[in-house]
Amino acid sequence: MNRFIQLFATVLLATSLNGCVIAIGNDAFDADEDWQVRQERNAAYIRHLDLGRSVASIESELGAPDFVESFQRDGDVFRVLYYRTQRIHDDRRTTMDETTPLVFVDRDLVGWGVSAIDKATR
């Protein structure tokens, strides 16, 4: 009989807890808003850049870039960091044409924008 009471109590407890959910965090999080905020912050930051800034200082303020390209030419090391600054495609992905390139030669910022790549490599 005692075993029957234990089994009944276990079943009763299990069914009373069934479907119990603990929610932590904000249920109203909108992933689309996240990219918009990041995109606007990146664009505003880039508009106020000064030439000569280091790669490390920019990465510490903007975070990891969306894309990176690096190459060496005539003894100079070129590094291009691409940060999302505009929305072109509604596909929930960041593509190269939605970014602004920041061009560094030997770790110093020499320009930004698509034309900066051509100018830096001439």
- Domains contained in the chain, number: 1
Q: Is residue 23 part of a domain?
A: no
Judge contact between 60 and 43, C-beta under 8 A. Answer: no
* Alpha-carbon gap, residue 61 to 115, rounded angstroms: 24
Q: Is residue 13 part of a domain?
A: no
Series of mean pLDDT values for 10-residue runs along the chain (122 residues)? 56 44 37 78 95 96 95 94 91 90 96 91 82
Q: Is residue 25 part of a domain?
A: no
Q: What pLDDT does residue 116 have?
A: 93
Q: Is residue 8 part of a domain?
A: no
Q: What pLDDT does residue 35 have?
A: 82
Q: What pLDDT does residue 22 have?
A: 36
Q: Give the domain range for residue 97.
A: 30-121
What's the distance, CA 73 to chain centroid? Answer: 29
Q: Is residue 18 part of a domain?
A: no
On whether the pTM is more than 0.85, the answer is no
Q: What pLDDT does residue 107 have?
A: 94
Map residue 22 onto helix, strand or coil: coil
CATH number for the domain harbouring residue 107: 3.30.1450.10
Q: Is residue 94 part of a domain?
A: yes
